Structure 1
Amino acid sequence: MGELLFNLPEAPAVPVAGESSGYPIGRIFCVGRNYAAHAAEMGNEVDRESPFYFTKAAANAVLTGAVVPYPPGTENFHYEMELAVAIGAPVFRAAAEEAQAAVFGYGCALDMTRRDLQIRERQKQRPWDLGKDLENGTVFAPLTRVSDWGNPSGRRIWLEVNGEVRQDAALEDMIWSIEEIICHLSGFYHLRPGDVILTGTPAGVGPVQAGDRMHGGVDGLPPVDLTLVAAERY
């Protein structure tokens, strides 16, 4: 094969705290309804039989500190603060110990959502892509290696909008633990380095407008920031 006709947009490499190297993003898997209080506030029941997922394109991700326009096609744009789990070793049909060993590190992330489109498509029993997989719709803070952060147990996850706390919970509130998610997801995919799993958002999600600034964190990890500006007109 000769030269390519054009180059595709590249996914950003996520910085690693305290290092000069970056973590290249391959695939982004997102766990839905992994906090019971969030599922309840959205009017949904929790499926405790197994987790479920949606995906987001890595090329649509941006890094913390980004300033992005309010997205087209929505009048109800929501923030969702999440813990990101970065895979560092190949794993398939993992047992719990293998799942733990496959984790490279953790980071803060935002799963931005066109909520009106997500709800509309869900009510029609159609995929959520328009609501979830949008340009600039995933925001990553630097990752921290497992050895530098330790156990997620006892950690707080939170998000502020313009300095006001909107989400505030504990990682223990997750229905499915990190190990359980990796064990389950690796039963369907050969997980590999570059795969990132967003583990769900706690209660308190809500709309943001142009001019709003989001600042979120998980205890012991670099925070994530995003600023919205006016929508593009042309």
Structure 2
Amino acid sequence: MKNMQVLLGTLLSKEIFHYFQIDKDFNVRSYSYYIEKYFPQSQQIMSTDVREYLPELVGSEEEIAEIFINPNQKYTLEKVYKNAYYINLSIEYSDEESLIIIIQDHTSLVKKQHELLQYSNELSLINSILENIFDQGESFMFVTDNEDIKFANKKFMALFEKIDIKEIQESKLTLYKDYHKACTNYDEMMHEIIKDKHSITINHKIFEIAVQALDLSHKLFTLTPIHHTFDNA
């Protein structure tokens, strides 16, 4: 009864309901209902060496056995893949004769992490492609939010003798003021361009300017030189 109370206390305190209880020889003494969903190949679980279901434990027997000597110690494994599930394992002290392997299902979290990683990789690829497209064109391009320049192609940065977007941002360019003194941000600049004016003078050079909204907060500005003496280098 005492062993069962310890076992239930451990489980309830962690709000976990999947477990193996094993003896010092790694044989299963008890286990939770529905644990078969992680180990569909299981036939007779009781008294079976748990390493048949968790071969990931092979080689760590001495470290796990140390838990009997130091009950505050635990052994953990994360993101173990079993039957389309990702589980975390925590092996902890149960009593003088047994340990408990607590199983946490982290499938949803791991899948979301994989989706975010894939999304991040796709964004990086798209960004790289866009940079190549922008840099191969003849126009000077930059992307802004309401207040700041967030991206610029190489031709635009060279126009201000900058080598990267960080230098552009640190220079605190306010092209909306160059475009129209009444403008206080790039949103207002976009509205002015849409109304009537389609050119801007930068460093004594004249450009035709166009703009389009990329989303609710970002705008793409395109500058095309129209002064015949302008150097495209």
Both proteins in one fold, TM over 0.5? no
> Rg larger in 1 or in 2?
2
Which has a greater percent of strand? Answer: 1
TM range, smaller chain: under 0.3
Q: Which has the higher contact order (CA 8 A, sep 6+)?
A: 1
Which has a greater percent of helix? Answer: 2
